[in-house]
Amino acid sequence: MSLRYLGKRILLLLAVMWTAASINFLIPKLSPRDPIKERLEQAAMMGGRNQTGLQAMTDAYSQQYGLGEPLWKQYLHALLKVVQFDYGYSISQYPRTVNSVIKDALPWTLGLGITSILIAFFIGTMLGALLGWPRSPRWLRAFVPASMLTSAVPAFVLGFLLIYLFAFQLRIFPLAGAYSRTATPEWSLTFIADVAQHAILPALALILFQLGGQALQMRGLMVMTTGEDFITFADAKGLRPRRIFSRYAVRNALLPQVTGLVMSLGTFIFSTVLVETLFSYPGLGNLINSSIQVLDYNLLYGITMILVFAVCIATLVVDLIYPLLDPRIRYEGR
């Protein structure tokens, strides 16, 4: 890979980050609500105090958070926060910083999201490859309607169905949360088993949502690949069907499949946000929902930028490993 091409990709990543940071900054500002005043009013009502001097306190906290400055100054400060990865204090969870709040929620999202998308990609790719292979058993065709159904149903709707079936009716899995209220977070087999039991339903909702689309996409790619001349030539040479399937058909169909996986990361992250909110899972998705409700600018800004940065980095990494998946691809001379 040439350094010129790598530089172009990095510049494109920076442009995407700047655009996302600008949009992420401007959209919450369109709301007429004042999050600091709302928090102070809520604290005053819960404490049974009068609201004398509330406006002066609101102005003082707004100055502390930088919300009382002109909009262009707030915009420059927001861009500086992106570069420094320091988003200040959380308005809703003061005096905790945004980074500390995200640090507590990030492992839950990574564990749930990465596990779900890898399982869905592996099973969906293999299932789609078998569905598109003309020598596969006929009974596999029954998975085509099921794949079309799950790919068309949103992940949170699948989550509702799983909750109704396995939590309400069969009572096999817990309704919500990441672990039992009586459990003590520690590195023990009992706690790990409890966490795994709570993660099955939200993970299954994400897996079913992704699996159907992955299987249908891989099936279409396999149908196109099996009609190529090199497949016919390999068959005429007398190669074993298993080798033709794995070394020729699947390998050539895998590259567009990986591209489709990267392109669907945005949709998957959005689905993860909804599923975590539905199951009250303590990840970034549930944190985004709570920060939107209280209009926590700093927390919402930090979470969104981390998600955008993760998608951009994943796209860049997959772009860099393309030559490993397909040796015919070269970036030199572009």
Is there a contact between 145 and 152 (Cβ–Cβ < 8 Å)? no
Q: What is the pLDDT of residue 177?
A: 83
> CA 265, CA 276: separation in Å to the nearest integer?
16
* pLDDT for the residue 64: 52
pLDDT score, position 325: 63
- Residue 334: the pLDDT is 45
pTM of this structure: 0.78
Non-local CB neighbours of 61 within 8 Å, separated by 6+ positions? 36, 40
- The share of the chain scoring above pLDDT 90, in percent, equals 4
Amino acid at 127: L
Partners of 89 in beta bridges? 97
Distance separating alpha carbons of residues 320 and 206, to the nearest angstrom: 27
pLDDT digits (tens, 9 = 90+) for 144-165: 888 888 888 888 888 889 999 9
What does the block give as tokens for 317? 């990494």
- Superfamily (CATH H level) for 98-325: MetI-like (1.10.3720.10)
Alpha helices in the chain (DSSP H): 3-29, 35-47, 54-65, 71-84, 98-132, 143-152, 155-162, 189-226, 229-236, 241-243, 251-263, 265-278, 284-294, 297-325
> Where exactly does CATH 1.10.3720.10 map onto the chain?
98-325
| Tens digit of each residue's pLDDT (9 = 90 or more) over 243-265 | 888 888 888 888 788 877 777 77
The per-residue pLDDT string of the chain (334 residues; one tens digit each, 9 = 90 and over) reads: 567 777 777 888 888 888 888 887 777 677 666 666 666 566 555 554 555 555 554 555 555 555 667 777 778 877 887 777 777 778 777 778 888 888 888 888 888 888 898 899 999 899 998 988 888 888 888 888 888 888 888 888 888 899 999 988 888 888 888 888 877 777 888 888 888 889 899 999 999 988 888 888 888 888 888 888 888 888 888 888 888 888 888 888 887 888 777 777 777 777 888 888 889 888 888 888 888 777 777 788 888 888 888 878 877 777 777 666 666 666 554 4
